[in-house]
């Protein structure tokens, strides 16, 4: 398996000030990296549960427009989290990030100066 490039920073599963991406440098064995692993697992689990809830609402003829808008907003938020997790994991596998640098999620990989 490919490892994270040397002198690279890991994209973390949470946003920083003004929604900008957060990174951690290191070998991936530090406390911040372990916390990021737990947060990623939590975000993926919550996304899975949200999908079940959305399926239930969509299939229920009694669901209101307000309920459907609320679940759509929650799905959009969750999809952003899952997208960030997927990008971060792909980068750690050596898959190049062709993501748009100007996007609110920001670039997924930065090179640290030696």
Could you tell me the pTM of the whole model? 0.74
For residues 6 and 25, is the Cβ–Cβ distance under 8 A? Answer: no
pLDDT score recorded for residue 15: 86
One pLDDT digit (tens) per residue for the chain, 114 residues: 445 555 578 889 998 888 888 889 887 789 999 999 999 999 999 999 999 999 999 999 999 999 999 999 999 999 999 989 998 888 788 776 666 555 544 555 444 444
Quick one: 80 exposed, middle or buried, by C-beta within 10 A (0-12, 13-18, 19+)? middle
Cβ neighbours of residue 97 closer than 8 Å, sequence gap 6 or more: 87, 90, 91, 107, 108, 109
């Amino acid at each position: 398996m490919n490892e994270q490039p040397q002198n690279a920073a890991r994209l973390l599963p949470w946003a920083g000030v003004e929604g900008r991406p957060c990174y951690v440098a290191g070998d991936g064995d530090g406390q911040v990296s372990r916390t990021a692993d737990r947060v990623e697992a939590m975000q993926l689990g919550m996304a899975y549960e949200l999908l079940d809830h959305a399926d239930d609402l969509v299939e229920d003829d009694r669901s209101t427009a307000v309920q459907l808008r609320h679940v759509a907003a929650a799905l959009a938020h969750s999809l952003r989290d899952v997208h960030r997790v997927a990008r971060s994991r792909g980068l750690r596998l050596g898959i190049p990030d062709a993501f748009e640098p100007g996007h609110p999620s920001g670039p997924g990989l930065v090179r640290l100066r030696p």
